[in-house]
């Protein structure tokens, strides 16, 4: 779709619609005002009642001179002279008296007079221009004597020039209001739109830089705490988090490279030594072979851990579940650590009562969790320290295995992140920072949980909670 800025779209839709509405309203207001003024003029010319006509025609109609006098006296004493002009027209259609300076000539056209003659009501109104160019509204009332003879007519006229001048002022006023309102709308909306589009443009630029790998890109100087402010904060947080993940990933690569290099160096060194000494020193050869095998095993474990991590990240980690006894697996793992604990001078207190802890699980994965947790406890505990392993059933459906050590502990600020991938709170000890992330995933896949508590400088407690197959189903199976 073709790019179109929000401002342009606003102008094409809202602004144009608003203009149409404003123009319509302006016309409506003008029409109402015009109607009002013309209506007022109409009421003024039509206000003359038939009594006044009677007063001229009925009394004096018989004699021409009497009629002319009566007409003159009527016109002279006419009350509304300042507003209206009044003409008296005799039975021959000739204007005999006029209240103002309207020229009374034979050629003056009086459409209202002609219409009134034919109209059943005997009256008619006309709006038009005099030959002088002045615009008037005229109203003619005809009079018939009782015997039916046509008596004449009175024509009232009001000048419309003043009204039209006023209407022109009203039109200018309405147009000015229209322009001011539209201008105000356009300016305020442009400013408002700009307050949205400018930060959105900045957000776009920052997002583009973040997508390009610049995680330091930050959106600042947005002064309001609103939806856009929130979006800016989210983008800033996202950039920070991506930056942190990038940093952890780089640390991870260098740690893993280092971890891989150490056993490889040992293997290579011992290989070269064995090559040099040949069969001359069987004791050194035996020791060398042992180290090569143990370092190769370590390498293998690391590669397995990395493969697990990759499986976990892509959601491909699968369990080969079967009926197992969690405590039997724990037993085996703790036993396998005996030799190492003696070698490293760390005491392992294994205090697990003998009760069945059956469940559905992958024995290799469960062992992997125990190994990882015990390996951490050993790694982060100094010589002379203690590790205690215990188990309990807080409920018949749950087993808790607790591994507590008296090691270095974890700082409170690191504790919430400890299960995140690549996160290492302690860089002085070997490790890739993915062990606990993998363990956590394995525990989740088993419907269990891995909790860690720690007091920095005093030690760490890892709690592994497993769901057990409930006692009722066990009994059923035993039957
Ligand atoms: P690593 O391979 O680095 O040990 P883990 O994922 O197993 O990675 O552990 C993550 C981090 O948690 C470790 O780097 C360490 O700082 C901390 N940690 C885990 N277990 C313990 C423990 N028992 N005592 C102290 N720190 C621990």
Q: Is residue 222 part of a domain?
A: no
Same domain? 363 vs 413: yes
Q: How many angstroms separate the alpha carbon of residue 247 from the centre of ligand 1?
A: 18
Q: Is residue 204 part of a domain?
A: no
Same domain? 328 vs 268: no
Same domain? 65 vs 192: no
Residue 313 pLDDT > 90: no
Q: Residue 64: which pLDDT band, with cuts at 50, 70 and 90?
A: low
pLDDT digits (tens, 9 = 90+) for 119-129: 888 889 999 98
Taking CA atoms only, the protein residue closest to ligand 1 atom 13 is 424
- Structural domain count of the chain: 4
The pLDDT of residue 469? 85
Long-range CB contacts (< 8 A, 24+ apart) of 269-276? 270/295
Same domain? 71 vs 121: yes
Same domain? 193 vs 264: no
Q: Residue 178: which pLDDT band, with cuts at 50, 70 and 90?
A: confident
The pLDDT of residue 51? 67
Same domain? 96 vs 129: yes
Same domain? 35 vs 171: yes
- Give me the mean pLDDT over the 298-316 stretch: 87
Q: How many angstroms separate the alpha carbon of residue 425 from the centre of ligand 1?
A: 7
pLDDT digits (tens, 9 = 90+) for 19-56: 899 899 989 999 999 999 899 888 887 876 666 677 67
Same domain? 16 vs 76: no
- Distance separating alpha carbons of residues 60 and 380, to the nearest angstrom: 133
For residue 424, the ligand 1 atom closest to its alpha carbon is 14
Q: How many angstroms separate the alpha carbon of residue 234 from the centre of ligand 1?
A: 30
CATH number at residue 255: 1.10.287.130
Q: Is residue 212 part of a domain?
A: no
For residue 431, the ligand 1 atom closest to its alpha carbon is 2
Residue 360 pLDDT > 60: yes
Residue 404 pLDDT > 80: yes
Which of 251, 432, 433 to mutate to test ligand 1, by most ligand atoms within 8 A of the CB atom? 433
Mean pLDDT, all residues of the chain:
87
- Give me the mean pLDDT over the 174-189 stretch: 89
Query: Does the beta carbon of 436 sit less than 6 angstroms from any atom of ligand 1?
Result: yes
For residue 425, the ligand 1 atom closest to its alpha carbon is 16
Same domain? 453 vs 362: yes
Q: Is residue 216 part of a domain?
A: no
Q: Is residue 213 part of a domain?
A: no
CATH number at residue 119: 3.30.450.20
The pLDDT of residue 101? 56
Give residue 256's domain range.
227-314
pLDDT digits (tens, 9 = 90+) for 189-216: 888 888 888 888 888 998 999 999 888 8
- Give me the mean pLDDT over the 436-463 stretch: 95
The pLDDT of residue 444? 94
Residue 221 pLDDT > 80: no
Query: Does the beta carbon of 406 sit less than 6 angstroms from any atom of ligand 1?
Result: no
Query: Does the beta carbon of 142 sit less than 6 angstroms from any atom of ligand 1?
Result: no
Same domain? 335 vs 363: yes
Same domain? 243 vs 298: yes
Same domain? 310 vs 328: no
Query: Does the beta carbon of 433 sit less than 6 angstroms from any atom of ligand 1?
Result: yes
């Amino acid at each position: 779709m073709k790019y179109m800025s929000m401002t342009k779209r606003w102008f094409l839709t809202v602004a144009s619609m608003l203009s149409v509405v404003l123009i319509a309203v302006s016309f409506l207001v003008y029409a109402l005002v015009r109607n009002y003024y013309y209506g007022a003029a109409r009421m003024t010319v039509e206000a003359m009642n038939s009594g006044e006509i009677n007063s001229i025609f009925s009394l004096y109609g018989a004699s021409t001179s009497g009629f002319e006098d009566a007409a003159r006296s009527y016109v002279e004493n006419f009350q509304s002279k300042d507003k209206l002009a009044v003409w008296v027209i005799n039975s021959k259609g000739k204007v005999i008296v006029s209240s103002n300076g309207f020229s009374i000539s034979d050629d003056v056209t009086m459409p209202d007079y002609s219409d009134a003659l034919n109209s059943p009501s005997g009256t008619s109104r006309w709006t038009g221009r005099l030959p002088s160019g002045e615009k008037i509204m005229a109203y003619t009332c005809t009079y018939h004597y009782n015997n039916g003879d046509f008596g004449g007519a009175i024509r009232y006229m009001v000048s419309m020039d003043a009204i039209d001048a006023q209407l022109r002022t009203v039109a200018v006023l309405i147009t000015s209001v229209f322009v001011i309102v539209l201008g105000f709308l356009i300016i305020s909306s442009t400013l408002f739109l700009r307050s949205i589009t400018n930060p959105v443009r900045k957000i776009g630029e920052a997002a583009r830089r973040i997508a390009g790998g610049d995680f330091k890109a930050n959106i600042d100087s947005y002064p309001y705490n609103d939806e856009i402010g929130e979006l800016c904060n989210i983008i800033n947080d996202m950039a920070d988090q991506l930056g942190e993940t990038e940093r952890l990933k780089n640390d991870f690569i260098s740690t893993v490279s280092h971890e891989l290099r150490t056993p490889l160096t040992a293997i290579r060194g011992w290989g070269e030594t064995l090559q040099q000494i040949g069969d001359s020193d069987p004791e050194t050869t035996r020791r060398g072979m042992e180290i090569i095998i143990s370092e190769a095993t370590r390498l293998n474990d690391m590669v397995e851990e990395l493969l697990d991590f990759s499986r976990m990240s892509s959601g491909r980690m699968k369990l080969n579940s079967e009926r197992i006894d969690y405590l039997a697996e724990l037993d085996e793992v703790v036993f396998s650590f005996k030799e190492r604990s003696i070698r490293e001078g760390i005491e392992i207190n294994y205090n697990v009562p003998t009760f069945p802890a059956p469940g559905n699980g992958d024995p290799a994965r469960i062992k992997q969790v125990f190994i990882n947790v015990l390996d951490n406890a050993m790694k982060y505990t100094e010589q002379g320290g203690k590790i205690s392993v215990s188990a309990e059933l807080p409920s018949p459906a749950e087993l808790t295995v607790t591994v507590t050590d008296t090691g270095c502990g974890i700082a409170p600020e690191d504790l919430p992140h400890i299960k995140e991938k690549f996160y290492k709170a302690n860089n002085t000890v070997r490790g890739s920072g993915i062990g606990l992330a993998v363990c956590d995933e394995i525990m989740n896949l088993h419907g269990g949980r891995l909790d860690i508590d720690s007091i920095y400088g005093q030690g760490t407690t890892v709690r592994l909670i497993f769901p057990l197959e409930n006692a009722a189903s066990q009994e059923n199976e035993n039957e």
